Amino acid sequence: MRRHLGLILATSIAAAAATLTAQSPRLAPRAAAAKTVDGHPDLHGVWTNATITPFERPAALADKAFLTDDEAAQFERRAATTRDEEAPPRAGDVGNYNQFWFDSGDRVVSTRRTSLVVDPPDGRVPALTAAARAKAAARNADNREHPADGPENRSLQERCLSFNAGPPINLGPYNNYVRLFEMPNAVIIFTEMIHDARIVWMDGRPHLPPHVKLWLGDSRGHWEGKTLVVDTTNFTEKTGFRGSSDQLHLIERFTRVDAGTLQYEYTVDDPATFTKPWTAVLPMTRSDERMYEYACQEGNYALPDILRGARYEEKQKDRR
Spell 210-249 as b/e; 16+ CB within 10 A means b: eeebeebbbbbbeeeeeebbbbbbbbebebbbbbbbbebb
The full set of domain ranges for the chain reads 11-83+98-318
For the chain of 320 residues, list the mean pLDDT of each consecutive stretch of 10: 41 46 41 68 93 94 93 90 67 69 86 96 96 94 92 87 83 89 94 90 96 96 96 92 94 94 97 97 93 80 89 87
pLDDT for the residue 156: 86
- Give the DSSP H/E element, type plus range, for residue 251: strand 249-258
pLDDT for the residue 298: 72
What is the pTM (predicted TM-score) of this model?
0.84
> Where do the DSSP E strands lie in 28-119?
45-48, 117-119
H helical segments located in the chain? 11-20, 69-84, 130-145, 298-318
pLDDT for the residue 202: 96
R_g (Cα) of the chain, nearest Å: 21
